[in-house]
């Protein structure tokens, strides 16, 4: 592959982002620069790091996008990386699924709960916490102060129907929004409790404590001693919740502290979120260092990644090394926060000691990750190497595609394509096919149609850009079809006609035999071998994916109504028609004028419905009565 180097005079001496593409047009690296001309000149004319050299050798062309300034170039680089997922850019992943304390502020009566995984809309998150029990201990103390519900929506609806609150209301741990007519809670008072809880969890604890203290003394002055005692208990519970959060700074400051542990191939980051001088959350990331970055460059990349994904930006960020483009990062973070943000390396005092603690956490996390990766990655590498040896491949198949057909009779024929990369499922590349051009039940022809559609797209998309919607442009190192010699012959036929030289085999369920296109006898891989496990995992995953799609297709057809084929009839009108007439049979017997009387149905649409139902009227077959049923009445034996 020859790299097309642009003339230096054609490259603008301006800030922006640049993209390296390979021979098939895929973006393999994205970078940014204050001066595109000076930055790109570093890629040729001098020795490069091994990883950078590998990237340049894989590239065929480079292009750039000029930005209005360095901050815009920073944003542009991040967006391009998120869009293209280049293989030579470093990748961040959480080292575990941390739990958050969440408030579902988008609901009519918000609730507090423990959540993991992807963040949802209209939910406020606090944390993350190291353990779920830490959240539950915090909630146990805070619901005594802020009586917000913690029950599920199903339980909430059950209590609302029963017109009776649960035990948590009786012991003062919930204000009883499920039965407001009994508890006396209003939307305004309940929302005030939710907002106060959110403020407390955000670290703004002083106003809450002052309010409780003032209300307690005011109740005592009014000689409302029972109310004063209740407020006193709430104040004690709030103080207990505060004590559970370790005070790590001498002053009530808001900062994020970043620690790092690294080697030549990977790095681990830990972040402690400190609010009001107390640690309110912590989280870790692991980084694949596929890109050659110094520690300042790596820290700059992580700071950008961290605050692109978070809405909250503290006024100060402590880092292990002064990041590259520090002034640009501070300007960008300041724009996000609305006030000045400082990034610095702690030199002494409490902040230095805290940073050492965070760094030790990063080192321990990195050590645990290395132990896990050594076993997992080593096993996958051995399995792929063994598979290559047994199948006679030149190198380990890092990308494998497996195909399966699922059908029950001539209807609802579907196919599945699953993808494994580095021995692991890559579900974002899975594809489903509805077989359209095959009459009757013919697995061989169905397999041919699916493979032809997939690899025709591969050939067509090779000359296009990814922005044109390329979905099948990455060729596999190995194709596996679920079946024996018949299915494999379809793969050989399709690949040969399209001029593709891709290794392909068939995997039969009987005795786990592997068929080759140019060998008369199948290969039997010994049971218990890692290579056989990879093939079985592939085949089982393709079968599961195909069966799931087949069930969805069959269920959708079973629930389909002739009304679905009438233009202008959507779910709401369909529901109104069935509610008025009770069944499709009664609707079919109705006159146009009767149909038009349904709310939302006019004379023209009624005529279309009448015509559509009678055109779709099913043929009547012979009447078959179930045993024990005569004329619709049950007969007792």
Res 145: pLDDT:
79
Q: Highest mean pLDDT range out of 3-12, 73-82, 578-587?
A: 73-82
For residue 495, the cross-strand partners are none
Residues of the chain above pLDDT 90, percent: 14
Domain boundaries, the chain: 8-89, 100-244, 256-264+285-367, 399-556, 562-615
Instruction: Using pLDDT thresholds of 50, 70 and 90, give the confidence band for residue 425.
Output: confident
The two structure tokens encoding residue 269: 């980051």
Q: Out of 33-37, 180-184, 316-320, 622-626, which region has the weakest mean confidence (pLDDT)?
A: 622-626
For residue 623, pLDDT over 60 is answered with: no
Instruction: Using pLDDT thresholds of 50, 70 and 90, give the confidence band for residue 410.
Output: low
Res 511: pLDDT:
58
How would you classify the pairing of strands 478-482 and 504-508? parallel
Instruction: Using pLDDT thresholds of 50, 70 and 90, give the confidence band for residue 129.
Output: low
* C-alpha distances out from residue 592 to 194, 599, 604, 610, 613, Å: 54, 14, 9, 6, 11
Res 516: pLDDT:
92
Average of pLDDT values for 611-615? 76
Average of pLDDT values for 562-576? 79
Cβ pair 167, 139 in contact under 8 A: no
- What is the distance between the alpha carbons of residues 529 and 538, in angstroms, rounded to a whole number? 15
Q: Highest mean pLDDT range out of 319-333, 358-372, 397-411, 542-556?
A: 319-333
Taken as a whole, the chain contains a residue count of 637
Other residues' Cβ atoms within 10 Å of the Cβ of residue 335: 12
How buried is 603 (Cβ within 10 angstroms: 0-12 exposed, 13-18 middle, 19+ buried)?
A: exposed
Contacts of range 503-506, beta carbons closer than 8 Å, 24 or more positions apart: 503/391, 503/393, 503/397, 503/477, 503/478, 503/479, 504/478, 504/479, 504/480, 505/391, 505/478, 505/479, 505/480, 505/481, 506/480, 506/481, 506/482
- What is the distance between the alpha carbons of residues 556 and 552, in angstroms, rounded to a whole number? 6
Mean residue pLDDT of the chain comes to 81
- What is the distance between the alpha carbons of residues 196 and 502, in angstroms, rounded to a whole number? 62
610 or 388, which is more confident: 388
Average of pLDDT values for 433-458? 87
Q: What class is the 8-89 domain?
A: alpha beta
Half-sphere exposure for 145 (CA within 13 Å, toward CB): 31
CATH number given to 399-556: 3.30.420.340
311 or 156, which is more confident: 156
- What is the distance between the alpha carbons of residues 529 and 387, in angstroms, rounded to a whole number? 9
Which tens digit of pLDDT belongs to each residue from 328-363? 999 999 988 889 999 999 988 888 888 998 898 888
Res 257: pLDDT:
92
Instruction: Give the containing element (helix H, strand E) for 155.
Output: helix 153-162
Rg (CA), the chain: 32
Res 251: pLDDT:
75
CA-based nearest residue to 245, from 349, 323, 142, 108:
142
Instruction: Using pLDDT thresholds of 50, 70 and 90, give the confidence band for residue 628.
Output: very low
539 or 628, which is more confident: 539
Cβ pair 245, 275 in contact under 8 A: no
Cβ pair 43, 14 in contact under 8 A: no
Cβ pair 29, 19 in contact under 8 A: yes
Q: Out of 60-69, 90-99, 219-228, 466-475, which region has the weakest mean confidence (pLDDT)?
A: 466-475
For residue 619, pLDDT over 50 is answered with: no
Res 178: pLDDT:
92
- What is the distance between the alpha carbons of residues 231 and 212, in angstroms, rounded to a whole number? 6
Instruction: Using pLDDT thresholds of 50, 70 and 90, give the confidence band for residue 496.
Output: very high
For residue 447, pLDDT over 80 is answered with: yes
Cβ pair 76, 67 in contact under 8 A: yes
For residue 118, pLDDT over 80 is answered with: no
Phi, psi of 249 (to 5 degrees): -125, 155
Q: In what order do the strands lie in the sheet with 27-33?
A: 27-33, 16-21, 61-66
For residue 258, the cross-strand partners are 271
Res 555: pLDDT:
59
Which tens digit of pLDDT belongs to each residue from 227-252? 788 778 777 776 666 554 555 566 77
Which tens digit of pLDDT belongs to each residue from 448-488? 999 999 999 888 877 665 554 556 667 889 999 988 888 99
Res 620: pLDDT:
39
Q: Out of 176-190, 223-237, 268-282, which region has the weakest mean confidence (pLDDT)?
A: 223-237
Q: Which fold has domain 562-615?
A: DNA polymerase; domain 1 (1.10.150)
């Amino acid at each position: 592959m020859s790299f097309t180097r642009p003339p230096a005079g054609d490259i603008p001496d301006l800030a922006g982002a640049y993209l390296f593409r390979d021979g098939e047009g895929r973006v393999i690296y994205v970078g940014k620069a204050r001066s595109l001309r000076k930055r790109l000149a570093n890629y040729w004319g001098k020795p490069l790091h091994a990883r950078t050299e590998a990237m340049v050798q894989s590239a065929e062309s480079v292009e750039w996008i000029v930005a209005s300034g360095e901050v815009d170039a920073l944003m542009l680089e991040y967006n391009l990386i998120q869009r293209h997922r280049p293989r030579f850019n470093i990748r961040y992943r959480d080292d575990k699924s941390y739990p958050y304390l969440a408030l579902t502020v988008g609901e009519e009566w918000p609730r507090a709960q423990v959540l993991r995984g992807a963040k949802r809309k209209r939910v406020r998150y606090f944390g993350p916490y190291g353990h779920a029990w830490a959240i539950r201990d915090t909630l146990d103390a805070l619901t005594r102060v802020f009586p917000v519900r913690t029950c599920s929506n199903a339980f909430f609806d059950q209590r609302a129907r029963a017109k009776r609150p649960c035990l948590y209301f009786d012991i003062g741990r919930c204000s009883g929004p499920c039965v407001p007519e009994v508890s006396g809670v209003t939307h305004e008072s309940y929302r005030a409790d939710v907002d106060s809880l959110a403020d407390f969890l955000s670290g703004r604890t002083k106003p809450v404590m002052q309010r409780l203290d003032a209300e307690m003394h005011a109740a005592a002055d009014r000689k409302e001693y029972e109310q004063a005692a209740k407020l006193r208990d709430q104040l004690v519970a709030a103080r207990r919740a505060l004590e559970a959060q370790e005070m790590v700074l001498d002053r009530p400051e808001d900062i994020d502290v970043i620690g790092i542990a690294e080697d030549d191939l990977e790095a681990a980051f830990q972040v402690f979120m400190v609010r009001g001088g107390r640690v309110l959350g912590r989280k870790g990331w692991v980084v694949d260092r596929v890109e050659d970055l110094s520690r300042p460059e790596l820290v700059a990349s992580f700071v950008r990644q961290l605050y692109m994904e978070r809405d909250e930006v503290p006024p100060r960020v402590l880092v292990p090394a002064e990041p590259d483009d520090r002034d640009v990062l501070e300007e960008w973070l300041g724009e996000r926060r609305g006030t000045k943000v400082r990034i610095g390396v702690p030199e002494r005092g409490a902040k230095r000691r805290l940073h050492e603690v965070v760094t030790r956490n990063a080192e321990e996390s990195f050590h645990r990750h290395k132990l896990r990766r050594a076993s997992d990655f080593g096993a996958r590498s051995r399995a792929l190497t063994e598979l290559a040896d047994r199948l006679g491949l030149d190198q380990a198949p890092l990308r494998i595609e497996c195909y399966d057909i699922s059908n029950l009779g001539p209807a609802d024929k579907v196919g599945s394509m699953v993808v494994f990369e580095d021995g692991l499922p890559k579900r974002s590349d899975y594809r489903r096919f509805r077989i359209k051009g095959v009459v009757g039940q013919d697995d061989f022809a169905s397999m041919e149609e699916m493979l032809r559609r997939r690899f025709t797209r591969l050939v067509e998309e090779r000359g296009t850009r990814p922005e044109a919607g390329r979905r099948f442009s990455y060729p596999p190192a190995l194709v596996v079809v679920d079946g024996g010699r018949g299915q494999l012959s379809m793969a050989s036929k399709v690949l040969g006609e399209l001029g593709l030289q891709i290794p392909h085999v068939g995997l039969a369920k009987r005795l786990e035999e592997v068929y080759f296109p140019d060998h008369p006898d199948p290969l039997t891989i010994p049971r218990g071998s890692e290579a056989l496990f990879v093939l079985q995992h592939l085949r089982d995953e393709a079968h599961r994916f195909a069966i799931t799609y087949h069930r969805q297709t069959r269920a959708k057809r079973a629930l389909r109504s002739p009304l679905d084929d009438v233009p202008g009839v959507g779910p709401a009108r369909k529901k109104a028609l069935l509610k008025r007439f009770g069944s499709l049979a009664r609707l079919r017997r109705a006159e146009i004028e009767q149909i038009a009387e349904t709310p939302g149905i006019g004379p023209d649409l009624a005529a279309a419905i009448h015509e559509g139902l009678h055109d779709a009227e099913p043929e009547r077959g012979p009447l078959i009565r179930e045993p024990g049923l005569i004329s619709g009445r049950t007969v007792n034996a």
